Amino acid sequence: MTKCFEVSVESGVAHIQLCRPDELNTMIEEFWFELPELIRSLDESGTVRAMVISSTGKHFSAGMDLSVFSGDGGLLGGSGVTEQGRQRASLFQLVLQLQDSFTSLEKARVPVLAAVQGGCIGGAVDMVCAADMRYASADAFFCVQEINIGMTADVGTLQRLPKIIPDGVARQLAYTGERMPAGRALEVGLVNHVFENHEALVDGVLEIARTIAAKSPLAIWGTKEAMTYARDHSVTDSLRQMAAWQSGMFQPGDMMECFAAKAEGREPVFEGLPARQPS
């Protein structure tokens, strides 16, 4: 049990729901520890083949909770050091820790799908940019809220968003703090599909996740590794990475199972991924 999330696993799909709708699913201190622990635990099991992050209530998430910034009790006040240089070093380490919370989505061996309803604001944009794919309900909107409160977004939006949508569009969002509605998000490629309402959104994204979960988990892992690597490297380097991956990971077992299942008129059955050692 966690304070910020409810989790269920069925047919290889883990459904992770933000569960503080009365507080607009803001990201309190516990959020930043619970999310990466959940992602890593599900990934390490080797039985989960896809993850869906959805939310509850009117809005997906209003982003960072103000309590994180407040007084000695917040994350920003808990370093215990007084000298200025050490305080700055502590803040540097904290920002890296917050960034790693969302990077855990990229590091997971299985695809992570984000289902967004209502507002996806501030830190929530950072989070969904780290997912493999994003989907929205018709009432959804996205807002890089940080610029509206006098700060620079610092946990992933500015680094990932321009690699998802055109650079100029990303810059306009980041410079103006304006809202991007679901229709425009679909138009520029931020989301893959817009569903009529929240219920249809969650049902539809879970169905996509089940489709992914039915594929060879080893082939899916290799595909995610290759595409994430290629995003950040040259074509030449990425081709070499792919050759190295295939020379070690590609074995004919899953391919033979696909052929056999098709010939026998059944769904293929694949062995799960090996359990991952905790990092």
- Please indicate, yes or no, whether residues 236 and 165 belong to a single structural domain of this protein: no
* Residue 233 belongs to some domain of the structure: yes
Provide the pLDDT confidence category of residue 73 given band limits of 50, 70 and 90: low
Q: Which of 171, 81, 161 is nearest to 126 (CA)?
A: 161
Share of the chain above pLDDT 90, in %: 86
Q: Is 240 helix (H, G, I), strand (E, B) or coil?
A: helix
Query: pLDDT tens for residues 204-261?
Result: 999 999 999 999 999 999 999 999 999 999 999 999 999 999 998 888 899 999 999 9
Which residues fall within 8 angstroms of residue 222, CB to CB, at 6 or more apart?
245, 246, 249, 250
When pLDDT is averaged across residues 17-40 and rounded to a whole number, the result is 96
**What type of residue is 224?**
K
Please compute the mean of the pLDDT values over residues 138-147 and round it to a whole number: 97
Residue after which a domain boundary falls, among 188, 213, 238? 213
β-pair type (180-181, 141-143): antiparallel
- Least trusted range by pLDDT, from 7-11, 41-45, 167-171, 275-279: 275-279
Residues 115 and 167 in one domain: yes
Which of 148, 121, 138 has its CA nearest to residue 191?
Answer: 138
Which residue, among 213, 266, 188, has the nearest Cα to 13 in the 3D structure? 213
Q: What is the CATH number of the domain that holds 200?
A: 3.90.226.10
Q: Provide the number of structural domains found in the chain.
A: 2
10 located within any domain: yes
Secondary structure (3-state) at 173: helix
Give the pTM. 0.93
Supply 152's token pair.
Answer: 């620079």
Report which residue type is found at 171.
R
What pLDDT shows up at residue 159?
Answer: 97
**Lowest mean per-residue pLDDT among 19-23, 86-90, 132-136:** 86-90
Q: Identify the residue with better confidence: 64 or 250.
A: 64
Domain that holds residue 235: 217-264
pLDDT > 70? residue 2: yes
Query: Closest by alpha carbon to 5, among 75, 54, 63?
Result: 54
Q: Are residues 206 and 259 in the same domain?
A: no
The domain that holds 256 is classified in CATH as: 1.10.12.10
User: Contact at 8 Å (CB) between 68 and 76?
Assistant: yes
